[in-house]
Each structure stands twice: as structure tokens, then as C-alpha cells.
Chain A
Amino acid sequence: MKNRLNILYVLERIFNHMLFKRTVLSLLSLFGLSLIIFTLARIMPGDPARMALGPRAPEELVQKYREMLHLDKPIYLQYYYWLTDFFQGKLGISLTSFREVSVDIIEFLPATLELMLYVAIIQITGTLILGTLSGSKPGSILDGALRVFSYVGICVPPFVWGLILQFIFSYILGFFPATERLSPSVQVPRITGFVTIDAMITGNLRGFVDGLWHLILPSLALALGAMAQEARILRSAMVENINKDYILTLLSHGIPNYRIYFRYALKPSLVSTIPVVGLDIASLIANAFMVEVIFNWPGLSKFGITAMLRKDLNGIVGVVLVAGLVYTITNVIVDIILTLLDPRLRYGGER
């Protein structure tokens, strides 16, 4: 049974055990989430129809609007209508934009996802480098600096970073643009909705650079605080691991330090860090709204918070469901990465 260790076997095990169960479980939890958020949105005080039409609209019109939205029916019946719509691919009409909610989501989601992508890139590289370097030499200057930086990171929320970065880099120095996804003079056709990817597909170098330039400040603002904390987590896992016998063994064989730290100490240390990184990145889908507002970023977070404030019932449910979906997918990705990192999870080991 020599081939039992090849990649197909590993994949088969993953699909047999984890992925399948995870998918079923996440579908169930998404269903539960829809139920909860649907009910919550409707029992919150405030009249959505009146808010949508404004205080001066005549009462009959508002009443008609309520009937159109089934707001006069009991909640379970409303949920039934919503569910039948949902299975036909409709999330209902938004009360703010007066369009299909799914259309809104398709319009706003890519902006946030693109932001998340760049945050993830910055956050993961930063975490790996800072965490490993300071974990390999506890008590060094870099280690001390990281400690201060991570305390600051915990205290300072992302939107404050956003304001600071905007002030320094676009107001004083003028390196980066302060708001929006593209400069007014630059046009990028919409294919995937990711500005940088669309620009790359169409071979539009100017659009790519411009999009990237617009992305840097908001991604940095969102990444800095979380990165500092994750680097600290990685650092403490590293400090624990570099005194273990298996690292000292390699040291006693004269393996160079960089290979010991960046390979043999890093891999077991990542097992505790990756889940936190995953959750932090997934949380951006709903938590990035302050930064999106500051940078005037047409993202889903911003759309979601507007929907909340205007009591846009269908909008709220749609946004929360998308957030739930993003969390679920991130968790599955995290699980797959963990199984690839730690063979004990793969084979159901002894510990």
C-alpha cells in the first residue's frame, strides 16, 4: 500500500470526511441564519414602508406598499414567501435602491472582496515575516517593537488608521489618492468587478496601476491592527516551538537558522495562527464599513450599513446571508489549509 500517501488519497479522505460534512453543516447554519436575521429585521421597531416612502406620502399608498411587501401578513407566512422567492433566485426588492437585492449585491460585493483580497495579502505576508522574525529571537529589538505595535494595533480601530493614513499619505504627501476605486479619468470595463483583475484581463496597465494605488491605503488601514495581533500569536507559538527538542535536534545537525525558523519552526506554529487569520479576514465583509465610508468605497459593508439604518428589510437579510456565506467559505478554506499543514488532522493521529 505504498501509494496510500499520494495526493489523490489525501483528497479522497478530505472529501469523504471533512468537506462533505462541512458543506451540509454550513447549509444548515445558513438556513438558521436566514431565519434569525429575517425575524430580527422584522421585529425591530420602525415602519419600513413609511421609511421607504418618506413622511409625506399618503397613508393609502403606504398601506398598499405594505401589502406589496406582505408586511400585513404574519411573520411565518412572510418567511414562506421570502423562501419561495429565494429558491427562484430572488432576494426581494431593496427599499433603498428599489432594485433587486441580488443586483445590488452583485454590484457592491466585488469591491469589498477585492479589498479583502489585498488586505489578506498584506496581512498574511506581514504576519509571516514579523511573527517569524520576532519569534525566532525573543527579546530582540524587533520583538519589542512588535509588542508595542500590536498593543497600538489592538487599541486603534481600522477607521482611525484610515484617517491617519489618508492624512499623511494623501493630504500631506500626496502619494496615494484618498477616495474611490479609480481616478475619474481612468475607465476600466466591468467584467469580474475586481478593478485590478479587470484591468489585467483587458491589458489596461494604467487602469491596473490606478486601481492598485487606490487600494493600498484602505487595505493597509484594515490590515495593520489585525496583522499586529496575528504576528503576536504566531510569535508566541514560535517561541514555544524553538525550545522544543525537535528544533534543537536540527540545530545540533548544523541546519542554517533561516531554514530552521522559516520552515521547521514556522510550519507547526502556523497551525494555531491560521484560524485567527481566516476569521479576521472573513470578518471584513461586514466590519469594513467605517473604512469603506471614509474611503468612499462602494462596497457591500457600506451598502449593508445603509440598509440597516433605513430598515431595508430585504437588503439586511441579503447582506447578512452573503456575510454568512463568506464566513462559511473562509472556514472551509482554513480547514483545508490546516489539514495540509498538519498531517495529524489528515490521518486522525494520536494527539
Chain B
Amino acid sequence: MQVSDLVFDANRLLTVKNLYVKYKSYWYIYHVLNDISINVGLGEKIGIIGESGAGKTTLLKSILQVLPINGKITSGEIFYRDVNLLKCSKQILLEIRRKRVGMIFQDPLAALNPVFTIKDHLLEVLRYANETANIDKSDLINIALDLLRDTLIPDPERILNSYPFQLSGGMRQRIVIAMALASARELLLADEPTTNLDVTIQAQILKLIGELVEKRGLSMILISHALGLIRKMTERVYVMYGGNIIEEAPTFKLFNEPLHPYTQLLFKTAPKILEPLSSVELRGNPLDYRNLPNGCVFHPRCPYGDSEVCRKVKPHQVKVEKDRTVYCHIYGS
């Protein structure tokens, strides 16, 4: 069986349906993703926002099934084109990882193996990404150099022979991006590609990713805490809280008028340059994933969350407009 290049529905390149993921530690079970459904269309740029620990990274890792050993997908479906990634053969999963989807990991300082050169990394990835193309080693090196040039790395020949610890954080992240691009021919998963980098480099890197995605016509899922950049770079945004999607909307609508109380607070608490530091805060603590609250996951921290229905009933999907959904009881009735 091959992954077909025909998309039956251009709005559904990647579809995640009712995904549940749990992490097991020695004593506890952490319910990290609860009933997540998202979809990415061909050429679409999706943003995912939400506070740290909302399950964004886990969602991306589950798509390619590269969860840490104690993580487990317990139920749900992940469709890539017409293939169910959770049920397909190993060979097809490998093909999708090698030739279709690329992922940029969060921490550039941790994403490169300290005892191998950049060349080792890139050639290994390229070798499998171009498996059937009958390419020899010097061609691979040329492809690697091209990738490094594409990611605006100065003096790529020298960088190719360096070890990760000899390079700066921004440089390393560019290399991780180059690696991801080697595999990402259709979809790029960018998981907070700028943590651990300083602010000027952050903007540069995100701009670079945006340009490359545009140039190569890729679809993208971008996770970032930089709301301004999400606003600029994406077309549709999912807001996550406590392992749930709580709001989904086209980017401009969401930023103009956030509906869910959590989204409203998230935008209000974000510092803005021209205004004094906002005094609004999210009260309460982040979630304890071992026992999630009944009803709406956000109700213990929600300014409107005191009602009976918020505490008892899990909010259903509410279609506010044709392309907007929110999971909140306020809009339910």
C-alpha cells in the first residue's frame, strides 16, 4: 500500500479525531490530551496557542508518534491524507516521517546529538528522505549545503563539519529547521521553534520559517507563545487548555474578538509594548493532569465559572459562526 498523492478533500491533509494521550509515571497516570480534534488543509497554516503544559507539544509528537517511552495514545484516529497513522503499517509510517512530514523540536540546544557532526545529522536524514531517488553521497552533500544556504547559514561548508556544541543557539535552530525541511515536503510541524533563543533571533527564525513554508508551499502547524507572530503567520488558530481544544477560529477573527474566557484572559495578560503592564491575571494554578476537574476543565480559574453547569457538564462544541467554534457554556444557550 502506498500513500496516495490524491487528496480526497483538500481541506483534510491531516485530521486528528478524538485523540486521547496518557503519560504514565510510576505512581500516576497523567491525562494529557483529552478528546482533541483538529484538521489541517492542504497549504494551510495553523497556529496552536495556550499556556505551557496545555498539551501542545504532546499533540505534535503524537501525530508522528514520537512520544517519550511513557506516553501512550489510548484512543482516537490520526488521518494523514487517506492513511490512518495509528493503524497503518510501519513502512507507511516511516515513509510519511521520511518524505512528507517534518518536525522542528522545541529546544534547539537539545535537538542535535552532541557527539555527531552536523554532516552526520543531515546526511542521515537526507539519505532516508531521498531513499528511492538513487542519489550518491556527493549529491546528498550538495542537497545538505543547499538546505543550509536556504536557512541562511553563513559558510555552510565549515558548519557542515562542526559539532553542535561549537555553534550558537540560533545557528543550531537553523540546522534543525534544515533537517526538518529535508523531510517536510507537505507538512511542517513547528513546536515552539524559538524557546531558548533571545528575542531578536526569535523573530528572525520565525520569519525564516514563514518564508520557507511560503516558498515551498508547505502546510504548517506552528506552536508559539509569541502571539504577534502567530497573528502574522497563521490563517487559523486552535486554543488549547488542559489537553482540550477550547476555541477554534480564523486568526483575524480570534484576535479581533476572542470568545472563550480563557482566550480573552490569555490576550489580556500578554504584555504590550505601548501600554502599561496589564493588571489582569489568570487566577488559580495550572491543571493537575492526574485528576482533571469535572465539567469544563477551565472552570476553577474562569471568571464566569461558578455556575452549576460549568462545574458539572463538559461543554459541547458550539458553532458560533460557520468557521468558528468554541467550547463554552456561555455561548451554549
Residue pair A344, B114 in contact (C-beta under 8 Å): yes
User: Please, what's the 1-or-0 string for B307-326, where 1 marks a CB less than 8 Å from any CB in chain A?
Assistant: 00000000000000000000
Q: Is A151 an interface residue when CB atoms closer than 8 A count as contact?
A: no
- A255-B124, A343-B115 in contact; A243/B68 too (CB < 8 A)? yes
Residue pair B98, A253 in contact (C-beta under 8 Å): yes
Give A227 to B127 CA distance when docked, in angstroms: 35
- A245-B105, A248-B61, A351-B165 in contact; A255/B125 too (CB < 8 A)? yes
User: Please, what's the 1-or-0 string for B158-169, where 1 marks a CB less than 8 Å from any CB in chain A?
Assistant: 100101011000
Give A76 to B332 CA distance when docked, in angstroms: 98
Tell me the smallest distance from the CB of B81 to a CB of chain A, in Å. 16
Residue pair A250, B124 in contact (C-beta under 8 Å): yes
Q: Is A251 an interface residue when CB atoms closer than 8 A count as contact?
A: yes
Chain B residues lying within 8 Å of A259, measured Cβ to Cβ, are 124
Closest to B117 in A: A343
Give A271 to B103 CA distance when docked, in angstroms: 28
Query: Of B66, B105, B158, which contacts A2 at CB under 8 A?
Result: B158
- A248-B68, A264-B116 in contact; A347/B110 too (CB < 8 A)? no
Chain B residues lying within 8 Å of A253, measured Cβ to Cβ, are 97-98, 102, 124-125, 128-129, 179, 182-183
* Count of chain B residues with a beta carbon within 8 Å of a chain A beta carbon: 39
Q: Is B330 an interface residue when CB atoms closer than 8 A count as contact?
A: no
Give A249 to B93 CA distance when docked, in angstroms: 15
Residue pair B98, A254 in contact (C-beta under 8 Å): yes
Residue pair B113, A246 in contact (C-beta under 8 Å): yes
Give A347 to B163 CA distance when docked, in angstroms: 10
- A138-B69, A347-B163 in contact; A249/B176 too (CB < 8 A)? yes
Chain B residues lying within 8 Å of A244, measured Cβ to Cβ, are 110
Give A264 to B112 CA distance when docked, in angstroms: 10
Residue pair B115, A342 in contact (C-beta under 8 Å): yes
Closest to A341 in B: B115
Give A249 to B179 CA distance when docked, in angstroms: 9
Residue pair B112, A246 in contact (C-beta under 8 Å): yes
Q: Is A88 an interface residue when CB atoms closer than 8 A count as contact?
A: no
Q: Is B157 an interface residue when CB atoms closer than 8 A count as contact?
A: yes
Closest to B108 in A: A245
Chain B residues lying within 8 Å of A5, measured Cβ to Cβ, are 161
Q: Is B197 an interface residue when CB atoms closer than 8 A count as contact?
A: no
Residue pair B111, A254 in contact (C-beta under 8 Å): no
Q: Which residues of A in the span 27-69 have a Cβ within 8 Å of any Cβ on B?
A: none
Q: Is A350 an interface residue when CB atoms closer than 8 A count as contact?
A: yes
Residue pair A242, B69 in contact (C-beta under 8 Å): yes
9 contacts between A and B (CB under 8 A): A246-B114, A247-B113, A249-B179, A250-B113, A253-B102, A259-B124, A343-B114, A343-B115, A350-B165
**A residues near B, CB below 8 A?**
2, 5, 138, 242-256, 259, 264, 267-268, 271, 341-344, 347, 349-351
